[in-house]
Structure formats: structure tokens, C-alpha cells
Amino acid sequence: MIKPDGVQRGLIGKVLQRIEQKGFKIVAMKLAVMPEEKAKAHYAEHVGKKFYQDLVDFITSGPSVSLVVEGRGAIAAMRKMNGATNPAEAVPGTLRGDFGIETGRNVVHGSDSPASAAREIALHFCASELVNFKRIDEAWLYE
């Protein structure tokens, strides 16, 4: 997901470009202001933590871009591409290392496991919104 700060700062194209240049394909994408109930469900694992309401308030503060990214090792690779949650600790070359300054405005979100990805995809997309296609360069990406 490209969070509201990334959208407001005009970083959608740069984030999408990096994903596609890596060789991953985007099979679903949606620009929307996340409703509060969806935000609470999205961040459900943080209920009770002192920063929970701040997360909900921020993610609903403006439009975000929800994405489904596919490719071998996509979850682990996207987490590396995103960089450390705290941009001050994210290495240059990562999205957060290049574009973020503070943890509360760290530009992107990525699922941390297949279970989280499945839950988050179901929260943001219905099955008919996922587009199944083969990229023409897949023969050059995978052995």
C-alpha cells in the first residue's frame, strides 16, 4: 500500500516503477480514502497499543493506493524494498530510506507474511478485482 503521505507527495509513480522494475506484477490496484472500519480491521493486530489510534487516523486522513503484487518471493522482497519501518534506520535504495523521514510517515505498507497478505488482500479487494495475466518478460525473470 502507498500510504496517504506517499500519495500526497506524488510518489505513486515512483513506487509503482520500482515494483515493476523489480519484475513483480501488479494484479490489483485501487486509489481510495480508507473508511475507518476498514482501517481498524487492517490494523487489528495493533489494537491496545498506544499508537493504534494514530495509525487509524493517519491511514484514513487521505487517499491511499492498495495494491496486490505478485511474483516469486514477493512478500520478502517487497519488505526489503520497503526498508525498515523507521525511515531513519532504512538503508538508502529502499522506499522508506529514500522517501521517508519519520516512522509515522513512512510512505508504504507491506504485508509481513502470507497469512497477513491473504487477510489484507481480502479486506481491500474482492476476488473479481484480481487480474490474472502473464507478463511477457516472465521467461526472462524466472529460471
The residue behind cell 479486506 is: 123
| Predicted pLDDT at 52 | 95
pTM, 2 dp: 0.95
| Predicted pLDDT at 19 | 98
Burial of 58 (0-12, 13-18, 19+ CB in 10 A): middle
Q: Is 109 a catalytic residue?
A: yes
| Predicted pLDDT at 55 | 95
Domains and CATH numbers, the chain: 4-131 (3.30.70.141)
Residues 96/89, Cβ–Cβ less than 8 Å: no
Tell me which residues of the chain have a pLDDT lower than 70: none
| Predicted pLDDT at 6 | 98
The residue behind cell 513512512 is: 106
Q: Which of 42, 46, 109, 124 is catalytic?
A: 109
